[in-house]
Amino acid sequence: MKLSLEYLIREPKVTLEKNPVIVLLHGYGSNEADLFSFATELPENYYIISARAPYDMQYNSYAWYAINFDADQNKFSDNEQAKTSRDAILNFIDELIANYPIDKDNVVLAGFSQGAILSYAIAISHPERISKVIALSGYVNDEIFSENYKNNDFSKLKIFHSHGTVDQVIPIDWARKSTPFLKQLNIDATYKEYPVGHGVSPQNFYDFKNWLLS
């Protein structure tokens, strides 16, 4: 089925009248096949849908937004592109709900790196649309949240976030700042660290899967 974003899908093995969905959002320079490798290990009652980011970097790599460097090699994100992708993903979720028997009250976002940063932005900007977030190796960038996000009702939102202690791409200090930030909003959040770099260890996968099942 042709929707606004390219995607891979694993249909649920256990069909309900409406099934929950996990939307996978890959990192910068990757593609929809990357996180889709998790699909076989994820709960069988879920639709597993892995979306491809809209900005083509060639050689089968894509980005949700540009990351630029200035003369001093400081990295900065293109926040306007990030907001455009935030809204594009919300639109894509609407299309999924319109085209598949998905439970709109049970939409889970699972993102890695740039995908995790956007997962936070989508869920905190629109907590009525997302039930759970799995944010792997990312951080909170409140510059890409909707304007009045602090007035939102977060009582139903749950977040699992994790990071590698030797991450060379996104410093662990950036990830650690997300815990007090989420606490301030009274969001139910679980945070874990693993002795790895910028990646998802088997223990990390096991932990977020258990968190999802509980």
Closest C-alpha to 161, from 133, 198, 126, 125: 133
Indicate if the pLDDT at residue 153 is higher than 80.
yes
Q: Give residue 70's pLDDT.
A: 64
Indicate if the pLDDT at residue 14 is higher than 90.
no
Does any domain span residue 142? Answer: yes
The residue to which tokens 């202690």 are assigned: 165
What percent of the chain is modeled with pLDDT above 90? 92
Does any domain span residue 179? Answer: yes
Tokens of 69: 């460097």
Report the distance separating Cα 207 and Cα 106, nearest Å: 20
Going by the DSSP 8-state scheme, the letter that residue 207 receives in this structure is: H
The residue to which tokens 């060639």 are assigned: 58
Does any domain span residue 87? Answer: yes
User: 96-112: per-residue pLDDT in tens?
Assistant: 999 999 999 999 999 99
Does any domain span residue 135? Answer: yes
Indicate if the pLDDT at residue 207 is higher than 70.
yes
Dihedrals φ, ψ of 168, to 5°?
A: -95, -5
Does any domain span residue 113? Answer: yes
User: 116-142: per-residue pLDDT in tens?
Assistant: 999 999 999 999 999 999 999 999 999
Split into its structural domains, the chain has a count of: 1
Closest C-alpha to 85, from 52, 132, 48, 61: 52
- Domain CATH code at residue 122: 3.40.50.1820
Q: Give residue 69's pLDDT.
A: 67
Q: Give residue 72's pLDDT.
A: 65
Mean pLDDT, the chain, whole residue set: 95
Does any domain span residue 2? Answer: no
Q: What is the DSSP string of 27-72?
A: -TTB-HHHHHTTGGGS-TTSEEEEEPPSEE-STT-EESS-EEE-TT
User: 58-100: per-residue pLDDT in tens?
Assistant: 999 999 999 876 666 667 789 999 999 999 999 999 999 999 9
Does any domain span residue 159? Answer: yes
Residue type for 39, please? A
Report the distance separating Cα 132 and Cα 107, nearest Å: 7
CB atoms within 10 A of CB 53: 27
Q: Give residue 71's pLDDT.
A: 64
8 Å CB contact between 129 and 90: yes
8 Å CB contact between 167 and 194: no
Find all residues with CB under 8 Å of 214, minimum gap 6, and list them.
none
Question: Domain containing 168: what range?
Answer: 7-213
Q: Give residue 77's pLDDT.
A: 82
8 Å CB contact between 53 and 138: no
Does any domain span residue 1? Answer: no
Within 71-145, residue ranges assigned H as helices are: 79-99, 114-125
